[in-house]
Structure 1
Amino acid sequence: MLRRMTRLRWRISHRPPLPPGCALFLTGDHRAWSSDPSGWTFDPAGELTSEHPHGTLLSVKVRARHPDGTVTEEGDAWGGRAAPHRHVVTGDAGIDLHVAGWQDASEGRGRPGRSAPPREETVLHAPWGDQPVRLWWPEGQGGPLPLLILHDGQNAFDEAPTFAGESWDAAGAAQALADAGHPVRIAALPVNHGRSRRYVPFPFELNDFDSGADEYADWLKGSLLPHLHARFGPVPAQDTALAGSSFGGLITAYAGLRDPGTYGTLGVFSPALWPADHAFLRWLPGRRDPQARVWIDMGDHEQGTVAASRDLVTHTRDLTAQLAPHVREARFTVGEGHWHDEPAWRERLPAFLRWWREG
């Protein structure tokens, strides 16, 4: 059956200047983020026409190829990485692209934060080197508090160190929870280029077929938790939560089910289950933690098309049903209109926190 095609008219409505001779082109997940401008170059007026099947979910960016062949990608106003432009293909449309800046060597270090920063940052020793720990707790709250450990801690609080200028605003969500009478402490763990090795429990291309997830899970249980308990007071497992998104969701589910009785709640946001041909699904049978509550969610715009995203939601709901008999509680939530990004997880975090502490 022929797929209905729609025509999009792209126009760069604003961009900072570039050296003479640069060719601007469009890239995105629809072309595997290729840096080849062939067929996707904007005309001198900054316009480009393309055709896409109805129902495609597009994430795109503008790039510039310099006369010497080097390529610069659009960024934010501070030279850091920018979030992609998003578009759901539902019919012919004109789309304006506002390019705020170009990525440069500053990596966005001057980017201001809109959300509250952590109260403290410390560094602990880990097998892979120094591990920063970003800590937040409600003002005036001393002693032990329920503990949330967050992966991808560089994206948890203020926007300055984030991947693309968007954060989870974890402090804002936790402050609202505290105002409702449920204070918690957050320990967020930044990660860098070792993310695929630390978070994916199975050998695959992005971790060079050398997973470090067991090493990471051992450190969480054997080093991080004892350190936090010694400093702030012991917290029982039923008041300890582990959470993360994408690969962070994968390591959350893996570490929690690998070490039953360690975490009372698992926040599995948009889990990336595909590495090593969905090896997690083959590892899962027989895993159980009768005392754990597990939150699993997925946005309905997380694949390349509306139909594929719908299938992903179905598969994730089925995963939750498969897990439910083996844990205390399994909750599945769909993020309507949510893509695979920080703004989506920021929007779903408050509901997870309420479910964790009020449920």
Structure 2
Amino acid sequence: MMEHPARAQPEPAPDRGRLLEYERVTAAGLPEQRLTIWLPPGYDGATRRYPVLYMHDGHNLFDVKHSNFNKIWAADAALLRAMATGRVAPHIIVGVWAPGTDRYRQYLPADIHQAAAPALRARMDAVAGGPIVSQAYLAWLAGPLKQWIDASFRTLPDRDHTAIAGSSMGGLMSCYAFLRRPDVYGRAACVSSHWPAIDPREVGRTTADGEAALARQWGDWFATGLGEPRGRRLWLDHGTETLDAFYAPYQAEVDARIAGAGWRKGSDWESKVYPGAEHEENAWAARLPEILEWLLRE
């Protein structure tokens, strides 16, 4: 007579890290902020310290129910895949939500706004609907926010263990942080950066050489602000469809100026084109493991 087997015990769920939500965060000179923080597997039972990746548009990173378009980057899954290669250490991800309609004026680099030709700046102002506050946003990111993160979690707070990433206007903001605060951010990913800053079709209407002039402005910005690599690492990319279809001339100018500054492509910086990729979260999610593996590798 066969005995009935003992009831099988459920396998413990794999540790895929955990999320923390901070719904109301005040920041001087800015709209109210919100955070989603991902702690990597093993964080709670460990004593080690972790590098930190700051990401913009935090509402689109982890949970579809918070997302704008029912699509997410799946940033936690992407980092787990990068970690599985053995070349990327576990990181804490700090997702900073965009403040609704204030997103544009919080992410547009103040340098570019101030240097823009009058007609282009007027169009930027119309989109912004209020004062540009990217300087205040960067001051908060690199100051009070980072100080709180480093005090509240077991981080490695130095430049070489602090990265920043974003897409579209968040890509511009990531470049802004990288150029303006090289003492804080040793890694940056500027994904599908929205170089036209406004509707791309309107740039050419601002002046006779509007697109070329704006591309040169971005190039000059990198040439004067980038400095030497000194161990830093920068990722740039774009697709070829929807909004990304407008980015190639701008990216070519930026790439040329980065190379001219003595940065070694493939080592200090990378610039990639993804044929067929659109300007949307699923496209960014698809390449995020590759981005993180290159950007965060030890």
TM-score, reference length from structure 1: 0.62
Q: Where does residue 344 of structure 1 map in the other structure?
A: 283
2:96 aligned with 1:189: yes
Q: Where does residue 137 of structure 2 map in the other structure?
A: 216
The RMSD of aligned alpha carbons is 2.3
Equivalent runs, 1:231-250 vs 2, <5 Å: 231-233=152-154, 234-250=156-172
| Structure 1: distance between partners of 2:226 and 2:70 | 37
Higher helix share: 2
Q: Where does residue 273 of structure 1 map in the other structure?
A: 195
The number of residues matched between the two structures is 239
Segments ≥4 residues shifted beyond 6 Å: none
Q: Where does residue 354 of structure 1 map in the other structure?
A: 293
1:327 positional shift: 4.9
Change (3 A) 1:326 1:137: farther
| Structure 2: distance between partners of 1:121 and 1:327 | 38
1:303 positional shift: 4.0
Q: 1:1-24 CA distances to partner (integer Å, 9 max, x unpaired)?
A: xxxxxxxxxxxxxxxxxxxxxxxx
| Structure 1: distance between partners of 2:219 and 2:234 | 16
Letter in 1 for 2:250: H
| Seq. identity, % | 28
Q: 1:178-221 CA distances to partner (integer Å, 9 max, x unpaired)?
A: 33342111000111221011001225121136211001000011
1:129 positional shift: 4.4
Q: Where does residue 256 of structure 2 map in the other structure?
A: 321
| Structure 2: distance between partners of 1:137 and 1:213 | 27
Of the two structures, which has the highest relative contact order with CA contacts closer than 8 Å and spacing of 6 or more?
2
Structure 2 gap segments, 5+ residues each: 1-15, 114-120, 204-213
Tell me if structure 2 keeps the 8 A contact 1:301–1:337.
yes
Tell me if structure 1 keeps the 8 A contact 2:17–2:40.
no
Letter in 2 for 1:320: D
Equivalent runs, 1:108-257 vs 2, <5 Å: 119-122=19-22, 123-127=24-28, 128-141=30-43, 142=46, 143-181=48-86, 182-191=89-98, 192-201=100-109, 202=113, 204=124, 205-208=126-129, 210-233=131-154, 234-257=156-179
Tell me if structure 1 keeps the 8 A contact 2:195–2:247.
no
Between 274-283 and 237-246, the greater mean CA deviation after superposition? 274-283
1:285 positional shift: 3.5
Q: Secondary structure at the match of 1:119?
A: strand
Q: Secondary structure at the match of 2:53?
A: strand
Tell me if structure 1 keeps the 8 A contact 2:17–2:41.
no
Q: Secondary structure at the match of 1:350?
A: helix
Between 152-161 and 207-216, the greater mean CA deviation after superposition? 207-216
| Structure 2: distance between partners of 1:208 and 1:170 | 31
TM-score, reference length from structure 2: 0.73
Q: Where does residue 106 of structure 1 map in the other structure?
A: none
Which residue, out of 291, 297, 300, partners 2:237? 297
| Structure 2: distance between partners of 1:236 and 1:255 | 15
| Structure 1: distance between partners of 2:188 and 2:196 | 19
| Structure 2: distance between partners of 1:209 and 1:124 | 21
1:284 positional shift: 3.5
